[in-house]
Amino acid sequence: MKQKNPKLTFRSNSIYSKESRLVLSPITIKDASNEYVKWLNSKEINQYLESRFIHHTKKNLTKFITNILKDKSTYFFVILRKDNGKHIGNIKLGPINSIHKIGEIGIMIGDKDSWGQEYATEAISLLSNFAFQKLKLHKITAGAYENNMGSIKAFLKAGFIKEAIRKSHFMYKKNYVDLVLLAKLQPKI
């Protein structure tokens, strides 16, 4: 007997498209899972995240989510696969500068089985469309360590351009590396 995939129920304010394999759902306290904590403490998964410098627990993850939910200038989503509802990572937009209509995207694909499948590109594209169409932002930006080629490629495939390089900006494994700044402007209609 063939087993059915679990039905994914969309939370209110979720972002998705018919073509997408993903759903971006607003984060909740329930998302502070043991698996999420493991991602944050994994030296391989978090090697390019500034959060790698602290040890994470379910308690401090819950506190982080509580604080992010209070922040009206930031949108924070879990990335879910449509086919099975699996939480594979997170993506955020913010803080948003409402005067200049600019926001910054940050992303983490924590599920290593999902690496290399272009889920990051897809999530970035979904969030970019939300930023431009719903929030009417003028520009969205991102930054990546120069040696984080997976992240840089994902942003470039999602229509971002390399805007600038900050030389010798971050310490990575006892050496300084450049910060690659990426950006995407509101498409002209």
Nearest-angstrom CA–CA distance, 114 and 116? 6
Tokens 């992010």 found at: 68
pLDDT band (50, 70, 90) for residue 3: very low
pLDDT value of position 188? 79
Domains in the chain, number: 1
> Degrees (nearest 5) of the Cα angle 61, 170, 151?
65
Domain annotation covers residue 14: no
User: What is the per-residue pLDDT for 6?
Assistant: 52
Q: Is residue 124 part of a domain?
A: yes
Gap between the Cα atoms of 153 and 160, Å rounded: 9
Residue 188 inside a domain? The answer is: no
Give pLDDT, residue 101: 98
List the CATH number of the domain containing 121. Answer: 3.40.630.30
Tell me what pLDDT residue 11 has.
Answer: 77
Q: Is residue 126's pLDDT more than 60?
A: yes
- Residue 189: how many CA atoms within 13 Å on its side-chain side? 4
Q: Which tokens go with 149?
A: 């080629």
Q: Answer whether residue 172 is part of any domain.
A: no
Give the pTM. Answer: 0.92
> What pLDDT, in 10s, does the model give residues 31-80?
999 999 999 999 999 999 988 999 999 999 999 999 999 999 999 999 99
Rounded CA separation 23/83 (Å): 10
My answer on whether omega of the bond before 26 falls inside 30° of 0, hence cis, is no
State pLDDT tens for residues 71-124: 999 999 999 999 999 999 999 999 999 999 999 999 999 999 999 999 999 999
Q: Which residues pair with 153 in a beta bridge?
A: none
4 occurs within a structural domain:
no
Is there a domain that residue 174 lies in?
A: no
CB 98 within 8 A of CB 73: yes
Q: Under the phi-then-psi rule, with left for phi > 0, alpha for psi from -120 to 50, and beta for the rest, what region is 11?
A: beta
Please, which pLDDT band fits residue 4 given cuts at 50, 70 and 90? very low
Q: What is the span of the domain harbouring residue 90?
A: 22-143
- Per-residue pLDDT, 122: 98
- Is 166 within the bounds of a domain? no
Q: Please give the Cα distance from 83 to 3 (Å, whole number).
A: 13
| Geometric angle at alpha carbon 165, from 159 and 122, rounded to 5° | 25
Asked, for residue 189, whether it belongs to a domain, the answer is no
